């Protein structure tokens, strides 16, 4: 093992410290300390000392292949994207100093919303400061008192938090179960307002939702549908709009939520819709109103990136090739994976427990490969997993190198024979 972060670098529980509001974190502090004391690197404190490309960084002084970022389409180093950001920085300064509602709407906020309308073919687009805030804002604003939000049990934290921020009744259904969704919708008052929240790709296992069937069930019960397509934008469906497009549900999904932090390659969130009253969201949505808007350089890079994604056919193909090659290679070696085939650009390697997870993660990092170590409560059903996310810029050679690294680490840790 490489040298773990020295325990002295890490805040620890002060012996004899007076109990106070921070005492509730003692268990989590203790668990982290035990991991570090056992010689492991903290998987949640990795520093990219240098980023050389969408697929390569320097971590702990070592050249490392990145297989754990959401940079699916490799747009972060695109020369046009970078030039747009630099120009906006020069022309408009470093920040907006205010809400979109007041002084915080600049030329490129309008431009990025137009790029989104063009990309999705919708009449409406509203940009938020993050994807997290897009879910928070849309769910809490759409579903009011006496309404119902019906969500998949494995929903992203931002969807759960959107429910908590609002005042609607919350109903959960079993992950990806059309039958359970139907049953639960059937128990609700027929005339109540209902919002079914789905995700195109579920980000822990990389599985996709049976959106066609789910949307049909939602419509049968008179519910509106919001689909979070954070992990499918750019490479799913004929226009890269997402799983909902690929599965032919465009006419029936009322709201699409997405993010700039994945395929677009910067930061920000959005919702697009064809609803004729969609603009009213700007007047009522607290996470849109009561926060500063994105810096001009960020919206300028996003607008350029989104427009380039509209025609990024070769990148899309490369990304799918990479995902399929990695999935097939890992499966052949005997790793247990989150999906039967490569359903998305996320390939999850399922491990037995935290010790095996941390050992695999660390061995890979020491050999020059970064993946995400994911654990409960972020993961479903108490699983520990290594999440590999592919990038269109990974070369076939890099994928082969990655497979070799997994083979060596899997044997060393005893995950595969």
Regarding 261 and contact with ligand PMP (CB under 6 A), the answer is yes
- Determine which helix (DSSP H) or strand (DSSP E) holds 131, and give its type and residue range: helix 131-142
**Please, which residue, 306 or 409, has the CB nearer to ligand PMP?**
306
| E strand spans, 54-144 | 56-59, 62-66, 124-128
Using DSSP's 3-state secondary structure scheme, residue 242 falls into coil
Residue 207 binds ligand PMP (CB under 6 A): no
Q: For ligand PMP, which is the closer residue by CB, 217 or 264?
A: 264
If one asks whether residue 113 binds ligand PMP (CB under 6 A), the answer comes out as no
In 307-365, where do the E strands start and end?
346-351
Residue 87 tokens, joined: 């120009």
132 binds ligand PMP (CB under 6 A): yes
Q: Which of 129, 140, 155, 203 is catalytic?
A: 203
Give dist(CA 206, CA 372) in Å, integer. Answer: 13
**C-alpha pair distances (Å), 173 with each of 128, 184, 385, 412:** 28, 7, 23, 40
Task: Please tell me whether residue 269 binds ligand PMP under the rule CB under 6 A.
Answer: yes
Q: Pick the catalytic residue from 109, 231, 327, 394.
A: 231
**Which of 320-344 are b and which e, b meaning 16 or more Cβ less than 10 Å from the residue's Cβ?**
bbbbebbbebbbeeebebbbeebbb
How many beta carbons lie within 10 A of that of residue 220, not counting itself? 11
Distance CA 88, CA 107 (A): 10
Choice among 109, 156, 194, 262 that is catalytic: 262
3 state SS of 356: helix
Question: Pick from 1, 235, 231, 277: which is nearest to 123 by CA?
Answer: 277
Nearer to ligand PMP, 267 or 289 (CB): 267
Does the annotation count 262 as an active-site position?
Answer: yes
Nearest residue (beta carbon) to ligand PMP: 131
Number of Cβ within 10 Å of residue 201's Cβ equals 22
Give the binding range for ligand PMP (CB under 6 A) out of 126-134, 212-220, 325-333, 346-354. 126-134
Size of the site for ligand PMP (CB under 6 A): 14
- Tell me if residue 156 is catalytic: no
The single residue among 158, 293, 301, 398 that binds ligand PMP, judged by CB under 6 A, is 158
- Is residue 244 at the binding interface for ligand PMP, with CB under 6 A as the rule? no
Region near ligand PMP per CB under 6 A, out of 139-147, 223-231, 282-290, 367-375: 223-231
CB 204, min distance to ligand PMP, A:
9
Whichever of 55 and 130 has its CB closer to ligand PMP, that residue is 130
Q: Is 228 in the site for ligand PMP (CB under 6 A)?
A: yes
Q: With respect to ligand PMP, which residue has the nearer C-beta, 199 or 393?
A: 199
Query: Could you give the CA distance from residue 149 to residue 171 in angstroms, rounded to a whole number?
Result: 6
Which of 42-50, 72-80, 96-104, 127-135 is the region at the interface with ligand PMP (rule: CB under 6 A)?
127-135
Active site residues: 203, 231, 262
**Interface ranges with ligand PMP (CB under 6 A):** 130-132, 135, 156, 158, 199, 203, 228, 230-231, 259, 261, 269
């Amino acid at each position: 093992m490489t040298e773990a972060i020295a325990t002295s670098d890490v805040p620890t529980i002060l012996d004899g410290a007076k109990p106070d509001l921070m005492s509730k974190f003692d268990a989590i502090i203790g668990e982290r300390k035990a991991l570090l004391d056992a010689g492991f690197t903290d998987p949640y404190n990795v520093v990219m000392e240098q980023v050389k490309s969408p697929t390569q960084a320097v971590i702990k002084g070592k050249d490392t292949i990145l297989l754990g970022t959401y940079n699916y389409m490799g747009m972060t180093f695109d020369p046009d994207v970078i030039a747009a950001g630099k120009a906006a920085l020069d022309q408009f300064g470093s920040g907006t100093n205010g809400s979109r509602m007041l002084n915080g709407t600049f030329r490129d906020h309008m431009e990025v919303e137009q790029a989104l309308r063009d990309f999705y073919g919708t009449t409406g687009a509203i940009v938020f400061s993050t994807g997290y805030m897009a879910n928070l804002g849309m769910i809490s604003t759409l579903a009011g008192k006496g309404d119902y939000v019906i969500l998949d049990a494995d929903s992203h934290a931002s969807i759960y938090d959107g429910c908590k921020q609002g005042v609607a009744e919350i109903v959960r259904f079993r992950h990806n179960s059309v039958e359970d969704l139907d049953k639960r919708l059937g128990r609700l008052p027929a005339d109540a307002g209902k919002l079914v929240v789905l995700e195109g790709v579920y980000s822990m296992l990389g599985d996709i939702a049976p959106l066609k069937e789910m949307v049909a069930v939602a419509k049968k019960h008179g519910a509106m549908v919001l689909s979070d397509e954070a992990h499918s934008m750019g490479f799913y469906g004929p226009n890269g709009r997402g799983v909902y497009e690929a599965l032919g549900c465009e006419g029936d999904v009322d709201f699409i939520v997405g993010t700039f932090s994945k395929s677009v390659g910067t930061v920000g969130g959005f919702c697009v819709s064809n609803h004729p009253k969609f603009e009213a969201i700007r007047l009522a949505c607290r996470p849109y109103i009561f926060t500063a808007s994105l810096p001009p350089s960020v919206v300028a890079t996003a607008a350029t990136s989104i427009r380039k994604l509209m025609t990024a056919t070769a990148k899309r193909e490369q990304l799918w090739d990479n995902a399929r090659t990695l999935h097939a290679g890992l499966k052949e070696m005997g790793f247990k994976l989150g999906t039967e085939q490569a359903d998305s650009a996320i390939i999850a390697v399922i491990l037995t427990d935290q010790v095996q997870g941390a050992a695999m993660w660390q061995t890979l990092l020491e050999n020059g490969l970064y993946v995400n170590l994911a654990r409960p409560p972020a993961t479903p059903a108490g699983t520990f997993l290594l999440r590999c996310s592919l990038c269109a810029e990974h070369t076939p050679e890099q994928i082969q190198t990655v497979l070799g690294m997994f083979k060596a680490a899997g044997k060393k840790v005893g995950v595969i024979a």
